């Protein structure tokens, strides 16, 4: 099983990267969460935000597999402990790459290596479209999309 997306964004890769890591922008892009990590290969990565465990609920966690600023972010992906009791057994890999494409940025995301019968596949398939569209909108206009929730 694999999810794969390509978006072309009308700005420089540094601007897109800023949406991923600047807390005010990423909170909007990731529908209420921010990345918390040293971003060193082998270190932890978490997507945290308001939820069942308060303002710092861990929604996604994993380990950084690759990190090159404005170019590559890859990590293992587990749902947060408050979402599923068996969260540690549920894993996939996310690899996001940015590359200049004319005066634009090509954003390529692959979410693969899903554990068997992972119930998050369907939910993730739905939300990546919204998150990536939000990243594009924020990078190009400074504003997130209004999904009505």
On whether residue 148 sits in a domain, the answer given is: no
- Residue 24 makes CB contacts below 8 A (sequence gap 6+) with none
pLDDT band at 81 (very low <50, low <70, confident <90, very high): confident
Higher pLDDT, 42 or 123: 42
3-state secondary structure of 90: coil
The whole-number pLDDT of residue 73 equals 97
pLDDT at 133 over 90: yes
Residues in the chain: 149
Residue environment code for 102-121, b if the CB has 16+ CB neighbours within 10 A, otherwise e: eebbbbebbbeebeeebebb
On whether residue 146 sits in a domain, the answer given is: no
pTM across the whole model? 0.92
On whether residue 147 sits in a domain, the answer given is: no
The whole-number pLDDT of residue 10 equals 97
- The whole-angstrom separation of Cα 138 and Cα 118 is 30
On whether residue 12 sits in a domain, the answer given is: yes
CATH number for position 67: 3.30.530.20
Range 34-61 average pLDDT: 91
Structural domain boundaries enclosing 39: 3-141
On whether residue 75 sits in a domain, the answer given is: yes
On whether residue 105 sits in a domain, the answer given is: yes
Contact 79, 94 (CB under 8 A): no
Q: How many Cβ atoms are within 10 Å of 56's Cβ, its own excluded?
A: 12
What total of structural domains would you count in the chain? 1
On whether residue 8 sits in a domain, the answer given is: yes
On whether residue 149 sits in a domain, the answer given is: no
């Amino acid at each position: 099983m694999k999810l794969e997306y390509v978006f072309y964004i009308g700005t420089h890769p540094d601007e897109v990267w800023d949406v991923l890591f600047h807390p005010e922008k990423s909170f909007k892009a990731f529908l209420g969460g921010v990345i918390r990590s040293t971003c060193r290969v082998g270190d932890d990565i978490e997507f945290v935000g308001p939820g069942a465990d308060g303002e710092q609920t861990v929604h996604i966690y994993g380990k950084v597999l690759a990190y090159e600023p404005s170019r590559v972010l890859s990590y293992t992906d587990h749902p947060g402990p408050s979402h599923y009791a068996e969260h540690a057994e549920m894993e996939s890999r996310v690899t996001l790459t940015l590359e200049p494409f004319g005066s634009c940025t090509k954003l390529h995301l692959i979410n693969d290596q899903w554990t068997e019968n992972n119930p998050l596949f369907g939910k993730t398939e739905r939300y990546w479209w919204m998150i990536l569209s939000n990243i594009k909108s924020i990078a190009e206009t400074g504003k997130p999309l209004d999904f009505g929730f």
